[in-house]
Chain A
Amino acid sequence: MSETQKSIPIGKLLRAENSQFVAGCRVRELETPALGALVKVTLEDQSQIYGLITNILINDDSLVRQLVSGVSIPTEYTADNRYNRNLPVEIHVLTVGYAQNGQISHRLPPRPPLSLDELHLCDTKELCDFTSLNEQAYLRHILRLIDRPVEEILAAHLRQAKAAHDSVGDTGWYGQACQKLITLLRDDYLRLTTVLDVLTDLERE
């Protein structure tokens, strides 16, 4: 990702707490964010909060409900609803760490980001820097997700992170991350074997 792309926000914060936050974006901006991607919010004091996209939510409204229940929808209605509606697409982010004075930590930030703070995708270097630290300790945050397809989020994240690390010649990262996951999940047989099934599928694609 180039510097120009990095500077373009993919959304603005709607609401936040220490462990997670939600950003909103327009439907037309939805091409960039992806499930499992590492994103960041830069605060006023230049510290950064990192998170993983765990869900992208497109809400309905009464107009959509009316349109859906109609017999046929003209193409221009569909396009108008998608690109001009005022209801944002919600990007749910799980907080996985922060950086202060250039020091990255895999603990939760002292304070959450504020509403309307800009959400940015991390570039390859940032992704590699963040995920290399501290023996992938940030992965533990993903495991506390409730009512989310954890194995799919993990698989999506690991695929993206592996590609980034491979691109800079760090081919050992993926193996270390898998070992860390096994360490974190080995007391939960069903969950771990499901995650490994997904990773095995991913590798066989």
Chain B
Amino acid sequence: MENGTPIPQNPEIGFVIGGGLEADLDVRLTVPPQEVQEGAFVVIDSNNWRFYGLVTDLRLAAIDEQYANQLNSQRFAPHLAEYLNKQTLFTNLAVMPVLMKDRGPDPASPGYWGWRLNNMDDPAPMPVKTIPDHHAPVKLAGKADIADIFGEEDNKTIFRVGSTREQGHPVCLNLDKFVQRSSGIFGTTGSGKSFLARMILAGLIHADHASTLIFDMHNEYGPDTSSSDTGQAVPGLKGKFGSKVQLVGLGSGAKFGKLIADIDLEISHRDIKVEDILQLAQILNLKETTATTLDKLENDFHENWFNAFMQMNVGGVIENEEGKTEPAPDSVAFWAHQAGIHPGAAEALRSKLGRLFNRPYLIDAPASDGLQAIIDTLQSGRHVVLSFGKNDSELDYLLVTNLITRKIRDAWEQSTENYHSGRNKAEPRPLVVVVEEAHKLLNREMASQTIFSTIAREMRKYYVTLLIIDQRPSQIYDEVMSQLGTRISGSLGDEDDINAVLSGLPGRGGLRGMLAKLQPKEEVLMLGWGVPMPIPIRSRRYDQQFWIDLLGEKSKPKSINDINKGLGMDDDSD
């Protein structure tokens, strides 16, 4: 304020007039309704307890409906109409109580020190189990209240993701808790979910408590890019974190603008298992008989089955001694006869797998073991951004993500077992697998086949969790959605998507309205197990200031003068 008068941290906005735990609390608003928005975080003090809640609705009301049904300003003198409206027309808030905290008696009261002796540390907020008294004052939460619940930014694990919409108080996310269970970031195109994801990933990498593996389908996380909306440069994670982030390109010689991949990922034929193919049943239009044929191939050729099958030809025949044609020894039919498989089924499968045989990154004997390099990188505490480059078809995405994730599951299960059995003293490094366009891997049909639903459901105990980024959460299998600990959602237009984000959460009714009315850009709703209570926030901007706040001044781009000075070529020098 210009005159220096401090703005009150948490002004009183009303008082409790009714309601309960099941239905929301009713609060009579004593300030104009425009000063409070749906989703506002409020605190209610009642005796020794402080209650924390969310505004889920605002309703106009009147002492008598007749006062509301006429224009008082037309019937009465202006000042009389003003007095009348002030006393007879009002707004009621519906407040969903979420948490409560024991504040103890008044510090000036005789009972305070007795209470303090039993509570040397301030009691932690707990889920609400009772309600405040009638007429308990209701205030907008102050900065300290929000810090009490969401933590105070520490530039490490307590990471600021945004601020409250009314007063701009910082709201933080506990990244340690965030990575303990699978999470999701949702929002329609243009809702800012990619920026939010970048920001949270930057926070995770900076906090350095977990490794991240990012399946970067659109090449937007690793290298610097530019915003599709504003055209401004958008820094990538590689540029900001250097060697902490390894860029992996699918196939040899992948490039990311001016950057060259740190690891070229070429996958050996021997790494492809039968289950990897079966997971592509839908996209390759495989028949039910496929599993039998593949099992037989694996049985006959072991690890080399993929290459062996690839080398077989379709339709090759030779003449036998009796002058009759029969399948050539290197043909599919020849092998099928020997293996007791229907030759037609085997040839059809060979033909369908042709789409895989010509993938340039599937090599019989690659120069290096890219898959192991990725796992080593992640286990050593660094982070991987896997870019699909030109190989960005759905088939590539499904095959490669499944294959890598299967390897990861094996590696992390092994590490965890070693840790629990005492063979390995170091606790396994937590890993977050970031999956974009997640509905392609986790839809109802695919979820049962892909490794990702297993990760979402079971891998938490093996230190691996998912971070799902998607614009159609309704397309993701319900069982996976219900496993998501933290959900951060931007604006969603579709009713089914809104319901999917809220699946398995209490108080859905109030949250649904909040989610439906988010601003299309920069507003998100955080909810779920990973946050103490649901809260709509204005998300932090992913800009230069973000990087300065996170990494300090060193992240600031240097001017030509600065660079010259650094090189000892100060333009002031003689």
Contacts and interface: CB of A to CB of B under 8 A. Distances in A.
B66 interface: yes
Contact of A178 (B63, B66, B67, B80): B80
B87 A186 contact: yes
B87 to A, nearest CB: 5
Given A189-B66, A189-B67, A200 B88 contact: no
Interface stretch (B71-79, B179-187, B300-308): B71-79
A175 interface: yes
A196 to B, nearest CB: 5
Nearest to A183: B87
A197 B64 contact: no
Given A197-B76, A200-B76, A204-B77, A175 B83 contact: yes
A200 B74 CA distance: 11
A203 B63 contact: no
Interface residues of B, number: 13
B77 A203 contact: yes
Contacts of A175: 79, 83
Given A196-B76, A199-B77, A179 B83 contact: yes
Interface string A45-83: 000000000000000000000000000000000000000
Contacts of A200: 75-77, 80
Interface string B449-462: 00000000000000
Contacts of B75: 193, 196-197, 200
B126 interface: no
A182 interface: yes
Interface in B50-100: 63-64, 66-67, 75-77, 79-80, 83-84, 87-88
B80 A199 contact: yes
Interface residues of A, number: 16
Contacts of A204: 77
B30 to A, nearest CB: 15
B63 A187 contact: yes
Interface in A75-122: none
A193 B77 CA distance: 12
B529 to A, nearest CB: 47
Nearest to B66: A189
A192 B63 CA distance: 13
Contacts of A196: 75-76, 80, 84
B63 A182 contact: no
Contacts of B80: 178, 196, 199-200, 203
Contacts of B79: 175, 178
A182 B87 CA distance: 7
Contacts, number: 40
Contact of A182 (B64, B66, B77, B84): B84
B67 A182 contact: no
Nearest to B70: A193
Contacts of A186: 63-64, 84, 87-88
B518 to A, nearest CB: 38
B195 to A, nearest CB: 51
A178 B64 contact: no
A192 B79 CA distance: 15
Contacts of A193: 75
Interface in B240-282: none
A182 B64 CA distance: 13
Contacts of B76: 196-197, 199-200
A187 B83 CA distance: 15
A198 to B, nearest CB: 10
A15 B83 CA distance: 39
A185 B66 CA distance: 14
A4 B80 CA distance: 38
Residue among B66, B77, B79, B80 with the highest chain A CB neighbour number at 10 A? B80
A168 B266 CA distance: 96
A179 B63 CA distance: 15
Interface in B25-70: 63-64, 66-67
A200 B75 CA distance: 8
A77 B76 CA distance: 48
Contact of B83 (A178, A189, A197, A203): A178
A193 B76 CA distance: 9
Contacts of B66: 189
Interface in B82-141: 83-84, 87-88
B481 to A, nearest CB: 50
Contacts of A182: 83-84, 87-88
Given A175-B79, A196-B76, A189 B84 contact: no
B119 to A, nearest CB: 43
Contacts of B64: 186-187, 189
Residue among B67, B77, B88 with the highest chain A CB neighbour number at 10 A? B77
Interface in A153-196: 175, 178-179, 182-183, 186-187, 189, 192-193, 196
Nearest to B84: A182
A175 B63 CA distance: 21
A199 B80 CA distance: 9
A178 to B, nearest CB: 6
Contacts of A199: 76-77, 80
B233 to A, nearest CB: 60
13 contacts: A175-B83, A179-B87, A182-B83, A182-B87, A186-B88, A187-B63, A189-B64, A189-B67, A192-B84, A196-B75, A199-B80, A200-B77, A203-B80
Given A179-B83, A182-B87, A189-B66, 8 more contacts: A178-B79, A182-B83, A182-B84, A186-B63, A186-B84, A187-B64, A200-B75, A203-B77
Interface of B: 63-64, 66-67, 75-77, 79-80, 83-84, 87-88
Interface of A: 175, 178-179, 182-183, 186-187, 189, 192-193, 196-197, 199-200, 203-204
The 5 A-B pairs of least Cβ separation, nearest first, read: A200-B77, A189-B64, A196-B76, A200-B76, A203-B77
